Amino acid sequence: MTVQQILHTVQLSKEELSKLLSATGDDEKVLFNYAANVKQQHVGNTVYLRGLIEFSNICEKNCYYCGIRRDNTDTHRYCLTEDEALEAVRFAHENGFGSIALQSGELSSDAFTRKIDFILKEAMRITNGEIGITLSCGEQTEDVYRRWFESGASRYLLRIESSTPELYAKLHPNDELHSFTNRVNALERLKKCGYQVGTGVMIGLPFQTAEHLANDLLFMKQLDIDMCGMGPYIEHARTPLYEHKLQLLSLRERFKLSLKMVALLRILMPDINIAATTALQTIEKNGREQAIQIGANVLMPNITPKRYRDDYFLYENKPVSQQSDEDDLKFLEKQLKNIGHEIGFFKQGNSLHYSAKNER
């Protein structure tokens, strides 16, 4: 079968997805064009913004790939004050972001739960309930998820990182805190609480094959997610996974593979929200725009107070803009216009997939 014929298959199999993930040259172009058309038909050319607030880099976990893991003593730890977080919310609201994403290392303390809860309530109050809020604060109990939902968070992003338990086990310590099953259960809890649920994976990890990635796509389809944030794995010298860096694909290859993952997910799930992630931009300056062209429809510009940005150091060469956030936004708008897209200013940009599901 040609790539065009495979793409027309309603249900793509693991084997077909693996084949498409290795498409190059003209085949790759066919895939990207196809995905761009699917995107245009289902979510159009509007790009929604989520002002990304990297709330705290303090984390109880020790994931082998992550620069802010607990055992990395080289990291300067911070946590925004309530006022600093709310200042960023205000900035987002005034500048038409429509939504914010509050992201943090994982903490299970009561103090943390309460602080997030307070920020959610205040964010709703100062924006007259107009701002959409996505949380990304790791695995929590059902009570905590429910409490945060009631206080104003309507979406939650919890990446599965890899949907293959054996690969997941190579990326995390072997203990209860890092169990694959707990992770999947947390995603189920989020759905039960009523969130628009997002997940995602890292692409180009050591030990990862095309088949693993094909499984990841099918996992997302099966979980019936509403949103996705995924991007290339980028090694960090102060992490255990760094010792495998010689077996990695080149950055360029990891980037290309990530674009193919975005394109294929768009084809599999035409009406979900897919973010063009920062890790793409780390490899290619216009990486996010390239992802928008072939399937993504959400951007998450960083609006964390500037003095903290260097410390949210998940991986190497994470971009930190020298311009003001206002100037960055103007630049982004221009770049998007050049590729035929517009920003959905003042719109929350909720997942169409979620609304469709709930109307059924």
* Residue 259 in the binding site for ligand 5AD (CB under 6 A): no
Shortest-Cβ-distance residue relative to ligand 5AD: 315
Alpha-carbon span 253 to 24, nearest angstrom: 11
Q: What share of the chain is helix, strand, coil (3-state, %, to 5)?
A: 50, 15, 40
Alpha-carbon span 192 to 322, nearest angstrom: 41
Q: Nearer Cβ to ligand SF4, position 7 or 158? A: 158
* Tokens encoding 209: 């094959």
For ligand 5AD, which residue of 112, 219, 315, 354 counts as binding (CB under 6 A)? 315
Alpha-carbon span 284 to 35, nearest angstrom: 20
Size of the site for ligand 5AD (CB under 6 A): 11
Q: Which residues pair with 53 in a beta bridge?
A: 102
Virtual torsion, Cα 17, 18, 22, 27, nearest 10 deg: -30
Binding mask 269-298 for ligand SF4 (x = CB under 6 A): ------------------------------
Q: Which of ligand 5AD, ligand SF4, none lies near 106, with the C-beta cut-off 5 to 8 A by kind?
A: ligand SF4
Which residues from 27-56 bind ligand SF4, rule CB under 6 A?
none
Q: Nearer Cβ to ligand 5AD, position 287 or 344? A: 287
Q: Which residues contact 117 (CB under 8 A, 6 or more apart)?
A: 147, 148, 151
Smallest gap from Cβ 236 to ligand 5AD, in A, equals: 5
For ligand SF4, which residue of 59, 101, 217, 283 counts as binding (CB under 6 A)? 59
* Residue 63 in the binding site for ligand SF4 (CB under 6 A): yes
For ligand 5AD, which residue of 106, 139, 161, 325 counts as binding (CB under 6 A)? 161
* Residue 116 in the binding site for ligand 5AD (CB under 6 A): no
- C-beta separation of 296 from 262 below 8 A: yes
Alpha-carbon span 328 to 336, nearest angstrom: 12
* Residue 216 in the binding site for ligand 5AD (CB under 6 A): no
For ligand SF4, which residue of 98, 105, 152, 231 counts as binding (CB under 6 A)? 105
Smallest gap from Cβ 120 to ligand SF4, in A, equals: 20
Alpha-carbon span 336 to 340, nearest angstrom: 6
* Residue 214 in the binding site for ligand SF4 (CB under 6 A): no
* Residue 318 in the binding site for ligand SF4 (CB under 6 A): no
Q: Which residues pair with 343 in a beta bridge?
A: 47
Q: Which of ligand 5AD, ligand SF4, none lies near 279, with the C-beta cut-off 5 to 8 A by kind?
A: ligand 5AD
Which residues from 122-181 bind ligand SF4, rule CB under 6 A?
138
Q: Nearer Cβ to ligand 5AD, position 161 or 289? A: 161
- Residue 40, judged by CB atoms within 10 A of its CB (0-12, 13-18, 19+), counts as exposed
Q: Which residues contact 321 (CB under 8 A, 6 or more apart)?
A: 302, 328
Which residues from 264-303 bind ligand 5AD, rule CB under 6 A?
279
For ligand SF4, which residue of 39, 50, 61, 254 counts as binding (CB under 6 A)? 61
In the chain, the amino acid numbered 350 is N
* Residue 59 in the binding site for ligand 5AD (CB under 6 A): no
Residue 275 DSSP class? E
- C-beta separation of 136 from 116 below 8 A: no
Alpha-carbon span 148 to 201, nearest angstrom: 24
* Residue 233 in the binding site for ligand 5AD (CB under 6 A): yes
Smallest gap from Cβ 37 to ligand SF4, in A, equals: 34
- C-beta separation of 163 from 48 below 8 A: no
Biggest CA–CA distance in the chain, Å, is 58
Where do contacts with ligand SF4 occur on this chain (CB under 6 A)? 59, 61, 63, 66, 68-69, 105-106, 138
Residues at the interface with ligand 5AD (CB under 6 A): 65-66, 159, 161, 202, 233-234, 236, 279, 314-315
